[in-house]
Each structure stands twice: as C-alpha cells, then as structure tokens.
Amino acid sequence: MFESIVSFASRGLTQASWGTWVIFGLVVTQLTIFTMTLYLHRSQSHRGVEFHPALAHFFRFWSWFSTGINTKEYVAIHRKHHAKCETDEDPHSPQVYGLNKVLFDGVDLYRTASLNREDMDKYGIGAPDDWIERKLYTPYTILGVGMFLVLNFLLFGVVGIALWAMQMIWIPFWAAGVVNGVGHWWGYRNFETADTATNLTPWAIWLGGEELHNNHHAFPSSSKFALRKFEFDIGWAAIRTFETLGLAKVLRVAPSLDIRPNVSLPDADTAKAVLAHRFHVMSDYFRGVIAPTLREEAGRAGAGIKDLPRKLRLALGNGGRWLDASSRERLTAFTEKHPQLRTVCEFRARLAALTEQRSGRNADSMIDALREWCVEAEATGIRALGDFAARLKGYRLQGDAV
C-alpha cells in the first residue's frame, strides 16, 4: 500500500516516462502560445481573424484553465499598448520602465494595468461578456489554474507539479517579457514604425509568430505577421489550416505593395498606398535615399561620417525620434555640415508629416501634396531622391488595407 502511494506521488496515474513528460510539456505550452496569439491577440484584440464558436470557446477555456488570463483584460491592455505605445501611458514599454522590469517582471505590469477598470471598459469593448464569462471565467480565474495543477499531479505526480510550474512561467516570460520587452529593444526592423518595435527573429516556432513584432506594429489588424519571403509565421500556418477545415475566417491581412512603371504624377492609388504602407515608405526612403547619400558623403568627406556612431546613422531613418537631447543635437549639427544629407533629411521629414497627419486631409489635398513633394524632390538634382520620387509615384495596393 505504501509503495503504491509512493509510486503514485512520484509518477502519477500514468506512470509515464520522461519522454511522455517532455511531449506533454511541449504540447500544453504550445497550445497556450497558440491560444494567446491566435485567439487573444489576432482575433479578440485586433479582429484580424474570426474562429468558429466552438474553437473560439475552446481557446477561451484553455486561456482560463492554463493561465488564468481574462480575455477582456488581455484585450484592453494590448489595445492600450498600441494606442499609447512608448509613452508614459503604455502598460509595458521598456522605453518607460526599463528592459529588466518588462523582461523579468512583466506580470506585475500586466496586473497593475488590469486594475484600471476605466481602461478595461474603454479598450476591452467587444470582448466576451456572456454568462460563463461573468459567472465563472472572470470571478474565478484562480480556479482554472488550480484545476490544471490538480490534473497535472494526478497524471504525473510531483513531475506534474514541475510541468505546471513551467506552464505558469511560459507566457509571462516569453510573451509578457521577451516579446513586450526585447521586442521593443533589440532585433531587425522591416518598417520604420512610430515606435521601437522590432522583429526578434525571422522565425521562432515556440513564440507562435509573435517574434515578428515590428511587422505586427506596422499592420496591427493583419492576421498574418510574416511579410517577407524569408519570414515564417507558424500562427498564420495554423490559421490557414483552421480556415481549410472551415473553423476560421480571415478578415484582414496586410496589403501587398505593387509598383507601377512610368507613372508621371501621384494619383489616388498612390495616396492610398502611401497611407496604408506609410511605415514601408519611410523604410524604403532610408534604404533608398538616406543610406546611399551617407555613402556618397563618406566618399567625399572621409572619416568624418565613418566615425559617426551607428546609433546616430540609424536615427536618420526616424528623424532622431528616440534619441536623447544631446544625441539629437549632435545629429543635427552633423547634418548641417553636409548639405546634401541635410536636404534628403528635410524631404524625409516632409514625407513623414504627409503620412502621419491624415486627419482633416481629404484625398485631393493628399494627392496635391504628394505631387508637390515629388516635383520638388526631382528638382533637387539628387539622384537617389529623384529615383525614389519616381518609384513613389507608382505605388499601388494589392489586397485590403488594414
């Protein structure tokens, strides 16, 4: 009898081997990641995809059962993050709180944000509010993870408790910590977004596609995060599988950008494409205009430009938005010494203003402003700037803007 109790406590009802423990751990953590990225993030927060009610409720149940995350709270906190990104009101910006705080204590930031009931009501609109949400999932968040702990112990004994503990830290570390923290601190950027969001890696199957954070911030409503040929979004692969099975309906994806040749002046198609792809436009401008101009200036001026810190060179792509006052002054002084570089930076600022100040601007005035910008850019005689203006005229969308 005693031996049976010891055997049960050590290995549970299954008496499973270490291989089963590993498989179980991988399955439940990945299921939790998929629940977060597919349901809480892409479906509920951004409405990029709609799932069959049965699948949607399974995701909602699994979120409650395996993490204790409340759908409305997640939705509200994430939407506020996008609305107030990198400001003092951002619930979890490493630019505000520091990388270590977000990386290792993101759960505390999440918990603090969830206590603001006004924000929960304002940003959580549209989240589930049915009987089971009001009577079970919201008031008894601890019950779900408690039941999950008991289940793990029954299945695997004390090893099950360790597996449960791993499950409890998986989302807080990888999602709340790594994606929200490192994903606004280090990585590569496809788009010059108005925040510091980065892509951590072109692919990382254990993050569900969330590693493509810069792409997501460029097109928040897109249900597909991979936007370049070498990127892979496992979450999108899951969505397409569910769509094939009739369990999902894709509502929005990022529009593709088409370049029409030999367009003499910007038109309505150009304006729509520039607004929808405004971050892509600014990234193209840095790569196609500012970077070549820097190289030309370096060829003429020598070490003066080559000695400019990489941080300041990259800051030319966003107008020094994230520099401190001292670094911004140094960058301004540097560009003043190089007239051609100063000119292309001024045109960048004007183009950025066109794409950012959309409220109150009708279609005709936007088209006129783009035409004026292109004519003046070509008149500068700066080859890279003229080539970019010619390319810009031909912009056209393929797909639905998000």
> How many folded domains does the chain comprise?
2
Whether residue 237 is found in the same domain as residue 330: no
Domain boundary among 250, 267, 291: 250
Q: What is the pLDDT of residues 255-277, one digit of tens each?
A: 888 999 989 999 999 999 998 88
Q: How far apart are CA 30 and CA 25, in angstroms?
A: 8
Decide: 368 and 186 in contact? Cβ < 8 Å. Answer: no
Q: What is the mean pLDDT of residues 237-241?
A: 98
Give the domain-ending residue among 216, 250, 284: 250
Residue 297 and residue 201 in one domain: no
Above 70 in pLDDT, residue 1?
A: no
Q: What is the pLDDT of residue 218?
A: 94
pLDDT band at 324 (very low <50, low <70, confident <90, very high): confident
Does residue 357 have a pLDDT over 70? no
Q: Judge whether 270 and 258 are in contact, CB under 8 Å.
A: no
The pLDDT of residue 401 is 46
Lowest mean pLDDT among 34-43, 104-113, 218-227, 328-337: 328-337
pLDDT per residue over 3-22, tens digit each? 555 565 677 788 888 999 99
49 membership: H or E segment, kind and range: strand 49-51
Ordered DSSP codes for 59-73: HHHHHHHHT---HHH
Residues 246 and 263 occupy one common structural domain: no
Q: Is 248 helix (H, G, I), strand (E, B) or coil?
A: strand
Query: Does residue 103 share a domain with residue 53?
Result: yes
- 250, 269, 298 — which closes off a domain? 250
- Contact (Cβ atoms closer than 8 angstroms) between residue 51 and residue 63: no
Higher pLDDT, 171 or 149: 149
Q: Quick one: 102 and 237 in the same domain?
A: yes
Rounded (to 5) percent helix, strand, coil in the chain:
65, 5, 30
Instruction: Tell me the CA distances in angstroms from 327 to 283, 308, 311, one per residue in order.
Output: 21, 11, 9
Mean pLDDT of 73-83: 97
Per-residue pLDDT at 26:
93
Nearest to 26 by CA among 163, 198, 231: 163
Does one domain contain both 227 and 281? no
Say whether both 245 and 157 belong to one domain: yes
- 3-class DSSP state of 200: coil
What proportion of the chain, given as a percentage, has pLDDT over 70?
94
The pLDDT value given to residue 322: 80
Give residue 295's domain range: 259-398
Q: Could you give the percent of the chain with pLDDT greater than 90?
A: 72
Find the DSSP H helices in 337-382: 339-356, 363-379
Residue 391 confidence (pLDDT) above 60? yes
Same domain, 213 and 284: no
Cβ pair 223, 42 in contact under 8 A: yes
Instruction: Say whether both 271 and 212 belong to one domain.
Output: no
Above 60 in pLDDT, residue 402?
no
Show Cβ contacts of residue 387 under 8 Å, excluding neighbours closer than 6 positions. Answer: 288
224 and 350 both lie in a single domain: no
Strand 248-250 and strand 49-51: the pairing is: antiparallel
pLDDT exceeds cutoff 70 at 398: yes
Asked whether residue 136 falls in the same domain as residue 100, the answer is yes
Helix 278-285 to helix 339-356 angle (10° resolution) is 180
* 25 plus 85 within the same structural domain: yes
